[in-house]
Amino acid sequence: MPVDVQKIIKTLEERKNRNIKYLEKKAPQLLDLLKKPSKLSKCGIYIDPQSGLIDLIIEDQKLYQADPHKATLAHIDEFERSGFKFYIGPDVTTPEQFKDSMMDMRHWYEYLVLAKEKPNIDFVKKIIRKGDIFGTFLCLGIGLGHHLVELTKRYEIKQFIIVEQDSEIFKASLFTIDWSFLEKYMRDNRTFNVFIRDDPFEAAKEVVAYCQFILNPPIGFDMPVFSYFKNSFFEKFMTEFMKRFNQIFTGWGFFQDEYWSVEHTLENIKNQIPLFYGNSPVSSKANAFIIGAGPSLDYSLDFIKKNSDKAVIFSCGSSLSSLHRAGIKPDFHIDIERTVVTYDALVWIGDPEYVRTIPVIFNNPMYPLVSTLFDESYMYLKANDAGTVFFESHIPRLIFSNPTVVNGGLSFAVNSGFKEIYLFGTDMGYKDPKKHHANHNVALDKNTYFYAEELGKDLKLEGNFGGDVYTNMFLNWARTWIEDLIKTLTDVKIYNTSDGAKIKGAIPTRLENISLKKFEKDETVRTIKQNFSQDYLKNRDFITKRLEQLKIETKNYRNYSLSQLNSKIKNKSQLMDALHNIFVWIYLNQTNNGILNFLVRGGFLHYEHLALFLCYQKEIRGINFVPETVEAIRRYIEESTDMLFNLVDKYRQIFR
């Protein structure tokens, strides 16, 4: 018997109006997503005139083909039987090796000894059940929205991420569900994030970056993925997301690293190292050679030597030893590491006179003694680094300048104004894991601590000139950040001559196809040097005020964190709540222009990941390791804040 379709339409319109009023007041950022232009030729709600059932039509296809609410419940039941989860455990391969030099590693080591076991992903895998607690939950598709309501009822989710391909689909849900369900969900520092992008690869990149830099990544170590709709968009999204997933758990840094960053930056300021301002771009006719230490550098050395008068040569990190053996002197040497390894690698070359006469450019946290090896030293600011808080905001920070020295060299060349940049030895991988660096590289010397017999085969990638190339997660992260840097450029050409992994956006170029024209190289080198200045030293008051601010924020962080980590915490759920609250404090410190977040965020995330994973692992076997964990994290926070108090007191005396 036919139904009153107009009555149904009226009901749907009334619900949409209520939803718009609610979202305008409570979540206007969601309504902003409706402004995104639709790429669908047909999308809307279908009402069956006989049954009154509602469906969603996308490009002439009905998505549910049944009662959408009942179909949703059945799908979630199936999800609980065979749903997919991402699992990622903390990397604990290094604590014993570095426990004597890094306080983070020492605390990890002591915690693992206390636990009497290490993280094991096989121990934590379990099926999804009603009532489960998830730090992060990824949902693919909004549809008519019924599953969003049901998922927030069935599970306790702290960070809910929804991905959709078109704004018209989101709009349809305004007619079919009551979006005020968010009222109950949005409590206790929970987040609800909707991403709408018509490009699945860009969507995956955006979600990964959001998880890595905005959300609290460790609580998502067992992230479920709920997908109601299967189509090519979501398949491509998942392919790219899985490639990038490990990035979410990398690049955090450690407290010890950030402590060194601040300490070394202050030492480099004390040593009056000229700083990059970048006021004068180089000539558009200038060429730059960025030299990495990958295996394919070996066949490029003759070309680099023959064309050294037609490009400004930037050696990056350990590539300098290969250039030295080939009789090539770069115009500038780039380095980025904050530990003594950079100093040791330069000394290993065995020719201090050769090294001394090359101008060096490094980032602000560079190990201070490195500058003593060179006659000319220059410094640039690394974006998102703790040490940059001591410099005024108008001084440029170089983005995408890590994690490898090649990233630093390329970012510097781009920021200097080069329009034609050639990459050599920037393999970002290897065809033979045992031949992972160019000849005459310190990493191939068995008599040094740099030596690595073989590097990992975590991923297999497309080669720059075809074939397959192996790489590890670290180098793949570096590769993707080069790609992300290239995407920001409009008038720069980057040529990749390396026989390593393909870098999207860089033009694969054989050496024999390169034709270079001469330019005023000496003038270009002078311009680069003139882009550095000691003007920042004129405002020493800024540094002392920042030190005072750091001391106040450290005291507040310590007091809040220790108040959260109290004896009332009895189980993993309560521990997760407390740690998440501390994370939110750190995040708010960042959004309120604080400076402490740069120092403590990475180390806290690493310890949070390790602690939650191990407590979960033990909980599955009926062991409560939470009280011991609370005390261990308290000790970590107490020592790290004590170190900061001492650091501030030391440098306040110097810069007074």
pLDDT tens-digit readout, 80-93: 988 878 888 898 98
**What is the reported pLDDT for 380?**
98
User: In this predicted structure, what is the pLDDT of residue 2?
Assistant: 84
Task: State the number of CA atoms in the 13 A half-sphere of 237 facing the CB.
Answer: 27
Over residues 150-175, mean pLDDT: 95
Asked whether the bond before 274 is cis by omega within 30 degrees of 0, the reply is no
Q: DSSP label at 364? A: T
Question: What percentage of the chain carries pLDDT values higher than 90?
Answer: 84
548 to 268, 330, 561, 637, 651: CA distances (angstroms): 19, 42, 20, 20, 10
Strand order in the sheet with 43-47: 43-47, 54-58, 61-62
How many degrees, rounded to 5, is the angle at CA 545 between CA 544 and CA 546?
A: 90
Domains and CATH numbers, the chain: 5-83+127-249 (3.40.50), 273-533 (3.90.1480), 539-655 (no CATH)
Residue 1 pLDDT exceeds 70: no
DSSP state of 281: P
**207, 136 Cβ separation under 8 angstroms:** no
| CA dist., res. 212 & res. 605, Å (int) | 11
CB atoms within 10 A of CB 454: 11
Query: Looking at residue 630, what is its pLDDT?
Result: 98
pLDDT of residue 236: 96
The per-residue pLDDT for 384 is 87
pLDDT tens by residue, 477-495: 999 999 999 999 999 999 9
Say if residues 191 and 215 touch (Cβ distance below 8 Å): yes
**Confidence tier at 458 by pLDDT (50, 70, 90):** confident
Q: Report how far apart, in Å, the C-alpha atoms of 199 and of each of 203, 230, 237 are.
A: 6, 16, 8
Please give the Cα distance from 636 to 625 (Å, whole number). Answer: 17
| Euclidean distance between CA atoms 358 and 166, whole angstroms | 54
pLDDT for position 250: 82
- Percent helix, strand, coil in the chain, to 5, is 50, 15, 35
Bridge partners of 193, per DSSP, are 161
Measured at the alpha carbon of residue 330, what is the angle toward residues 326 and 334, in degrees to the nearest 5?
Answer: 120
Per residue in 176-233, pLDDT tens? 999 999 998 988 889 999 999 999 999 999 999 999 999 999 999 889 999 987 889 9
Name the one residue in this structure whose structure tokens are 């085969």.
457
Q: How confident is the model at residue 59 (pLDDT cuts 50, 70, 90)?
A: confident
- Span 290-299, mean pLDDT? 97
**pLDDT tens by residue, 325-369:** 999 999 999 999 899 999 999 999 999 999 999 999 999 999 999
pTM: 0.84
300/306 Cα distance (integer angstroms): 10
